[in-house]
């Protein structure tokens, strides 16, 4: 499963140098996620830089089977990120791409470099619970309504992300997740799958949304924007009264930003 | 045609196989890790076996000696059939039982149409799986396991082993002594199917009831303990 | 069997419209993972067990020529006649020859996916034989003239009501009402018992072949396979060349995982090992036994990139845990093997050209690999098949070129920034009022089923470069 090595970490008073890999979906559709990530990392005593030439990790081509198109992009990402002490990614699937799939895709020297990068690359909630160990702010942050959590598949199964977000919601926001039934089943996003097989994807996202609504929660959150865009789009289509937000936004108490797919002008 | 198919397939497989002497291959096989057996539901092997029989939806009884054994069989027959008849394989151990003392009328041989109850004597039994093992042959016609509505199986507690690996050690020893039986049947419960809407129904083709009587010295409260472990 | 894998999307669409079946699939998709996980917990150390099985299977496949030679010798020594078939047609004609040599008219069959693969039933029936499937699920679909929808429970798509109607139609029921499933099972039992007693030939599959002693292993719950193996005078075991295990003990890990993974039982009711024809002094058993070993692309798989697929033990856990299988059911896959294992096997056993939709029926969610008792990395194999699909240019060019372009633009940060800094604010303006789009050109796949969330004002990189700390500043 997660082969990340949790090596030596600096003493708690020294700040850690972290490069944020924003992910293309956060960059394009939800800058709030990246801003929240920076805020959380700073709260965890990290010095955050955003390597300016980053774009996309290459999942769309890779998962569609175009390995030839993915290889140069993966190398580029490695070159951009490898000078960092730590790389933090607010997405389980993009972190999984770097940690699990780059070493599978690349060969020779590049594979070694991929493994090296994988050993210091972390998904956001894992980093905040296991490496930088964020502490709650002294003043109580925004009061949160009931929350349910969608475990995105790549994070759950490639990186063992299950307890980390729940622990952070408890420690930083004082809320317990209201668990949704069938929580380990895919929401039907699957990258290009949702556009290639829309009818099946629609059935899956409909089921996931039903399970989320059945919890009675006001907010559905998760760690992967792909799933959240899918779920938010479906919720909007069905006219459901459910706010969908990325976990990073909730953890830093940002409820001002309109939920994903909503205008805030209602 | 078949001969050319054979040589063509083997030629392909030889190219694909790693090669090496039979000894080297065997040495490599010896080095493979072992498969851990599941934790037994009770430390005592008889109890673990009976619990697993119950989990397999069999029913259980115990009998210390031969007199008690025939009585236990008679009781079962009477309870379900108000009858004393059954069919049993030509197993000398079964033939030697004092059936008349309990009024049981066994017919020895292969099962015939309309006979609802068959009795077998297990060759061995496996606590891990709650399975009984029989070898096909005169003592155990395969049809006697498969065609009756009810199967009663006697298991001598001395023939009880803990794990599947131990069962194979015994079976391999038997094969060395007496050659390979045509069939080795591990039976773990009544015949069942869930092919219609996933609903479990017993008696698909074989027995709908499967009754195990464990012979030999066992703790007095073992049946109660086994039942309480399953409920 | 006629293949309809490439109309997967249409098949799926049709399946989704059948609400009765969809509802039953949903409830099975909830139930079967619960049954499995309880049973696996009870097994103790799942990871050690599957690693052991993987080692045994890899070792057996590494040395397949050796072990198959050994199996053949032992099986012949046990009195079997051995046959080898390169492909489906050869297996079918070998079996027909054997039946004809015995002037057999009636054949009973245990469940065998291999003979589904070769289309044996219809082949024998065309030659005038009366072939009866005896596994209840197989019997039901044979009567209904359908194909299996699941490799373990082939008639799971049918409701009890449909089975009742089917039996009313096909059987002479008289006053029997067949009120519940117990009645229907009893009905099938009675009808099939006659067939067992009359059949001249029994055909079964095998879950494993034991090299050291020439036994074949058969695992069932109903006992029908054992009746096929014991009652008719001639027995034919049909399986594939890759099913070999070195020794009987090596089946132990497989047995500890197979039923637990398949049905959530700790083991099936019947686990049988058969060595050959009736011995001197035996009171029953077949007089003549044949073993037919099919290759049908397995030897190619052995040297290819998808070799791990040969380690599959056909438990069906990947089907039961696949949300796509749960959504559309087995028939949508259009051939013999459905679900994740079928989406790998079908292109390998038929051709990628005939089935390139199947490897795309996957979200890479990884649930199949997580539960696979053989530890087969199914999502990786499916992605590799999509790689071949790309190389062979089988996927729509719109997709292929679009993804290539995206990957290329992503390697030119300045271009990427310029494009996204133009498009994103525009999209934001267009979607600002509602927050999401109900229709978008070039994204109908997405917007058919859900709205497309509008982006925030600008890209993060634009905002960050401008020194902003929040998207709304």
Please report the residues numbered 84 through 113 in chain C whose beta carbons come closer than 8 angstroms to any beta carbon of chain B.
84-86, 90, 93-94
User: Nearest residue on chain C to A236, judged by CA atoms?
Assistant: C451
DSSP string, B21-90: -HHHHHHHHHTSPP-PPPPPSSSSHHHHHHHHHHHTT-EEEEESSHHHHHHHHHHHHHHHHS--EEEE--
Q: Is residue B23 part of a domain?
A: no
- Contacts of residue C69, Cβ cutoff 8 Å, sequence gap at least 6: B10
Pair of tokens at residue C256: 């500890």
In the DSSP assignment, the letter for residue B191 is -
| Residue A4 confidence (pLDDT) | 45
Pair of tokens at residue B208: 């709908």
Distance CA C132, CA C335 (A): 21
Enumerate residue ranges in chain B where pLDDT < 50. Answer: none
Mutate to test the interface with B, among C39, C46, C66, C229 (most CBs of B within 10 A): C66
Any chain A CB within 8 A of the CB of C461? yes
Distance CA A150, CA B64 (A): 58
- Contacts of residue A101, Cβ cutoff 8 Å, sequence gap at least 6: A62
Pair of tokens at residue B189: 């419960």
A216 alpha-carbon distance from chain centroid: 24
Q: Is residue C166 part of a domain?
A: yes
Q: Is residue C241 part of a domain?
A: yes
Same domain, C361 and C220: no
Same domain, C390 and C454: no
Contact assignment for B186 to C42 by CB distance below 8 Å: no
Contact between C269 and C223 under an 8 Å Cβ cutoff? The reply is: yes
Strands C81-85 and B209-215: unpaired
Contact between C88 and C117 under an 8 Å Cβ cutoff? The reply is: yes
Contact assignment for C227 to B205 by CB distance below 8 Å: yes
Q: Domains in chain B: how many in total?
A: 1
Measure C426 CA to nearest chain B CA, in Å: 53
Phi and psi of A187, rounded to 5°? -85, -5
Residue linked to tokens 């990947």: C318
As a three-state string, the secondary structure of chain A is CCCCCCCCCCCCCCCEEEEECCCHHHHHHCHHHHHHHHHHHHHCCEEEECCCCCCCCCHHHHHCCCHHHHHHHHHHHHHHHCCCCEEEECCHHHHHHHHHHHHHHCCHHHHHHHHHHHHCEEEHHHHHHHHCCCCCCCCCCCCCCCEEEECCHHHHHHHCCCHHHHHHHHHHHCCCECCCCCCCCCCCCCCCHHHHCHHHHHHHHHHHHHHHHHCCCCEEEECCHHHHHHHHHHHHHHCCCCEEEEHHHHHCCCCCCCCCCCCCCC
Same domain, C391 and C403: no
Same domain, C119 and C55: yes
Last residue of a domain, one of C238, C262, C294: C294
| Mean pLDDT computed over every residue of chain C | 95
Residue of B29, B129, B205 lying closest to C59 (CB–CB): B29
Same domain, C309 and C416: no
Distance CA A7, CA A11 (A): 13
Distance CA B52, CA B60 (A): 10
Same domain, C391 and C460: no
Q: Is residue B183 part of a domain?
A: yes
Any chain C CB within 8 A of the CB of A7? no
Contact between A207 and C326 under an 8 Å Cβ cutoff? The reply is: no
Last residue of a domain, one of C396, C417, C439: C396
Confidence of residue C408 (pLDDT cuts 50, 70, 90): very high
pLDDT at C218 over 70: yes
The secondary structure element, H or E, covering residue C225 is helix C224-230
Which pLDDT tens digits describe chain A residue by residue (266 residues)? 444 444 445 555 678 999 999 999 999 999 999 999 999 999 999 999 999 999 999 999 999 999 999 999 999 999 999 999 999 999 999 999 999 999 999 999 999 999 999 999 999 999 999 999 998 887 656 678 999 999 999 999 999 999 999 999 999 999 999 999 999 999 999 999 999 999 999 999 999 999 999 999 999 999 999 999 999 999 999 999 999 999 999 999 988 899 999 987 54
Please report the residues numbered 178 through 207 in chain A whose beta carbons come closer than 8 angstroms to any beta carbon of chain C.
182, 184-186, 188-205, 207
Mark residue B206 as left, alpha or beta (left: phi above 0; alpha: psi -120 to 50; beta: remaining): beta
Q: Is residue B195 part of a domain?
A: yes
Same domain, C312 and C420: no
| Residue C1 confidence (pLDDT) | 72
Residue of C82, C215, C222 lying closest to B191 (CB–CB): C222
Contact assignment for B5 to C44 by CB distance below 8 Å: no
| Residue A231 confidence (pLDDT) | 98
Predicted-complex ipTM score:
0.97
Contact between A245 and A230 under an 8 Å Cβ cutoff? The reply is: no
Contact assignment for C68 to B37 by CB distance below 8 Å: no
Measure C430 CA to nearest chain B CA, in Å: 50
Contact assignment for C366 to A189 by CB distance below 8 Å: no
Nearest to C293 by CA among B5, A236, B187: B5
Q: Is C132 helix (H, G, I), strand (E, B) or coil?
A: strand
Distance CA C161, CA C163 (A): 5
| Residue A142 confidence (pLDDT) | 67
Contact assignment for A199 to C456 by CB distance below 8 Å: no
Q: Domain range holding B184?
A: 39-230
Please report the residues numbered 197 through 216 in chain C whose beta carbons come closer than 8 angstroms to any beta carbon of chain B.
197, 213-215
The 10s digit of each residue's pLDDT in C304-347 is 999 999 999 999 999 999 999 999 999 999 999 999 999 999 99
- Contacts of residue B134, Cβ cutoff 8 Å, sequence gap at least 6: B120, B122, B123, B140, B145, B184, B185, B187
Instruction: Give the other-Cβ count within 10 Å of C453's Cβ.
Output: 27
Contact between B211 and B59 under an 8 Å Cβ cutoff? The reply is: yes
Q: What is the CATH number of the domain that holds B216?
A: 3.40.50.10420
Mark residue C329 as left, alpha or beta (left: phi above 0; alpha: psi -120 to 50; beta: remaining): left
Nearest to C260 by CA among C53, C29, C54, C37: C37
| Residue A3 confidence (pLDDT) | 42
Question: How do the residues of chain B divide into helix, strand and coil, expressed in percent and rounded to 5?
Answer: 40, 25, 40
Chains C and A touch (3+ CB pairs under 8 A): yes
Could you please state the CATH topology (level 3) that the domain comprising A16-131 is classified under: Rossmann fold (3.40.50)
Same domain, C149 and C204: yes
The 10s digit of each residue's pLDDT in C162-184 is 999 999 999 988 777 899 999 99
Q: Is residue B15 part of a domain?
A: no
Same domain, C152 and C263: yes
DSSP string, C161-191: HHHHHHHHHHS--TT----SHHHHHHHHHHH
Same domain, C220 and C364: no
- Contacts of residue B45, Cβ cutoff 8 Å, sequence gap at least 6: B127, B160, B161, B162
| Residue A2 confidence (pLDDT) | 43
Distance CA B156, CA B122 (A): 8
Q: Which chains touch A (3 or more CB pairs under 8 A)?
A: C
| Residue A6 confidence (pLDDT) | 46
Q: Domain range holding C348?
A: 301-396
Last residue of a domain, one of C363, C396, C429: C396
Same domain, C139 and C128: yes
Pair of tokens at residue B33: 């890790």
Q: How do the domains of chain A map onto residue ranges?
A: 16-131, 147-251
Strands B124-126 and B131-135: antiparallel
Q: Domains in chain C: how many in total?
A: 3
Confidence of residue C99 (pLDDT cuts 50, 70, 90): very high
Same domain, C141 and C202: yes
Distance CA C371, CA C363 (A): 16
Q: Is residue C2 part of a domain?
A: no
Any chain B CB within 8 A of the CB of C58? no
Q: What is the CATH number of the domain that holds C155?
A: 3.40.50.10420
Mutate to test the interface with C, among A242, A261, A265 (most CBs of C within 10 A): A261
Instruction: Give the other-Cβ count within 10 Å of A245's Cβ.
Output: 25
């Amino acid at each position: 499963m997660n082969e990340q090595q949790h090596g030596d970490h600096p003493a708690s008073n020294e700040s850690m140098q972290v490069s944020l890999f924003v992910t293309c979906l956060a960059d394009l559709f939800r800058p709030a996620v990246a801003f929240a990530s920076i805020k959380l990392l700073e709260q965890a005593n990290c010095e955050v830089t955003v390597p300016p030439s980053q774009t996309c990790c290459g999942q769309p081509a890779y998962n569609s089977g175009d390995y030839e198109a993915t290889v140069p992009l993966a190398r580029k990402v490695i070159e951009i990120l490898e000078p960092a002490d730590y790389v933090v990614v607010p997405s389980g699937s993009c972190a999984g791409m770097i940690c699990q799939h780059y070493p599978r895709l690349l060969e020779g020297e590049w594979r070694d470099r991929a493994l090296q990068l994988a050993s210091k690359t972390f998904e956001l909630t894992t980093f905040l619970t296991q490496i930088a160990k964020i502490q709650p702010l002294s003043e109580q942050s925004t009061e949160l309504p009931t929350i349910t959590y969608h475990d995105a598949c790549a994070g759950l199964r490639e990186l063992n992300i299950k307890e980390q977000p729940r622990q952070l919601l408890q420690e930083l926001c004082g809320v317990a997740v209201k668990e949704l039934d069938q929580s380990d089943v895919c929401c039907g996003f699957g990258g290009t799958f949702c556009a290639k097989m829309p009818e099946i994807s629609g059935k899956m996202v409909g089921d996931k949304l039903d399970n989320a609504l059945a919890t009675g929660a006001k907010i559905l959150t998760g760690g992967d924007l792909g799933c959240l865009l899918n779920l938010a789009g479906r919720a909007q289509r069905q006219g459901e009264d459910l706010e969908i937000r990325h976990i990073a936004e909730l953890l830093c108490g940002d409820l001002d930003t309109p939920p994903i797919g909503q205008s805030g002008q209602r | 045609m078949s001969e050319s198919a054979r040589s063509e397939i083997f030629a392909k497989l030889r190219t694909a196989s790693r090669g090496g002497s039979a000894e080297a291959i065997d040495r490599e096989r010896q080095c493979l890790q072992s498969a851990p057996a599941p934790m037994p539901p009770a430390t005592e092997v008889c109890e673990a076996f009976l619990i697993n029989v119950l989990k397999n939806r069999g029913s259980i009884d115990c009998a210390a000696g031969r007199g008690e054994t025939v009585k236990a069989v008679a009781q079962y027959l009477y309870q379900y059939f108000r009858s004393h008849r059954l069919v049993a394989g030509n197993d000398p151990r079964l033939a030697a039982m004092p059936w008349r003392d309990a009024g049981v009328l066994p017919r020895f041989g292969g099962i015939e149409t309309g006979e609802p109850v068959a009795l077998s004597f297990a060759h061995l039994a496996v606590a891990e799986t709650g399975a009984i093992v029989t070898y096909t042959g005169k003592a155990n016609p395969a049809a006697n396991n498969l065609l009756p509505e009810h199967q009663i199986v006697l298991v001598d507690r001395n023939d009880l082993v803990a794990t599947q690996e131990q069962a194979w050690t015994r079976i391999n020893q038997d094969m060395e002594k007496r050659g390979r039986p045509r069939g080795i049947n591990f039976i773990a419960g009544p015949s069942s199917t869930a092919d219609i809407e996933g609903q479990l129904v017993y008696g698909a083709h074989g027995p709908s009831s499967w009754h195990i009587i464990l012979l030999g010295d066992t703790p007095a409260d073992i049946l109660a303990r086994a039942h309480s472990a399953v409920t | 069997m006629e293949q309809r894998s490439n109309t997967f999307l249409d098949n799926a669409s049709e399946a989704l419209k059948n609400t009765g079946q969809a509802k039953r699939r949903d409830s099975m998709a909830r139930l079967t993972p619960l049954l499995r996980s309880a049973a696996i917990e009870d097994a103790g150390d799942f990871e050690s067990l599957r690693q052991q099985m993987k080692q045994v299977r890899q070792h057996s496949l590494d040395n397949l020529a050796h072990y198959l030679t050994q199996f053949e010798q032992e099986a012949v020594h046990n009195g079997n006649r051995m046959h080898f078939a390169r492909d489906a047609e050869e297996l079918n004609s070998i079996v027909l020859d054997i039946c004809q040599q015995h002037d057999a008219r009636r054949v009973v069959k245990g469940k065998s996916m291999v003979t589904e693969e070769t289309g044996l039933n219809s082949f024998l029936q065309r030659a005038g034989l009366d072939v009866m499937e005896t596994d209840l699920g197989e019997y039901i679909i044979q009567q209904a003239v359908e194909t299996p929808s699941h490799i373990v429970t082939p008639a799971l798509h049918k409701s009890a009501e449909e089975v009742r109607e089917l039996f009313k139609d096909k059987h002479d029921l008289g006053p029997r009402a067949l009120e519940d499933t117990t009645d229907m099972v009893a009905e099938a039992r009675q009808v099939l018992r006659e067939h067992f007693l009359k059949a001249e030939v029994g055909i079964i599959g095998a879950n494993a072949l034991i090299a050291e002693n020439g036994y074949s292993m058969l695992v069932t719950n109903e006992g029908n396979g054992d009746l096929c193996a014991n009652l008719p005078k001639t027995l034919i075991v049909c399986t594939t060349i890759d099913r070999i295990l070195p020794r009987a003990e090596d089946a132990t890990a497989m047995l500890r995982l197979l039923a637990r993974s398949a049905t959530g039982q700790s083991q099936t009711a019947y686990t049988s090992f058969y060595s050959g024809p009736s011995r001197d002094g035996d009171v029953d058993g077949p007089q003549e036994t044949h073993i037919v070993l099919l290759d049908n692309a397995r030897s190619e798989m052995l040297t290819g990139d998808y070799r791990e697929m040969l380690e599959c033990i056909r438990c069906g856990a990947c089907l039961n845990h696949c949300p796509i299988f749960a959504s559309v059911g087995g028939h949508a896959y259009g051939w013999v093997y459905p679900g994740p294992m079928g989406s790998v096997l079908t292109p390998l056993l038929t051709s990628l050209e005939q089935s390139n939709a199947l490897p795309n029926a996957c979200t890479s969610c990884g649930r199949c690999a997580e539960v696979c008792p053989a530890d087969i990395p199914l999502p990786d194999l499916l992605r590799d098949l999509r790689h071949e699909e790309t190389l062979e240019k089988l996927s729509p060019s719109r997709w292929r070129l679009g993804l290539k372009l995206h990957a290329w633009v992503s390697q030119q940060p300045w271009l990427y920034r310029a494009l996204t800094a133009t498009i994103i604010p525009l999209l934001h303006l267009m979607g600002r009022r509602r927050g999401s789009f109900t229709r978008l050109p070039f994204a109908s796949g997405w917007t058919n089923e859900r709205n497309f969330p509008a982006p925030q004002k600008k890209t993060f990189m634009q905002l960050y470069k401008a020194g902003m700390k929040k998207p709304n500043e």
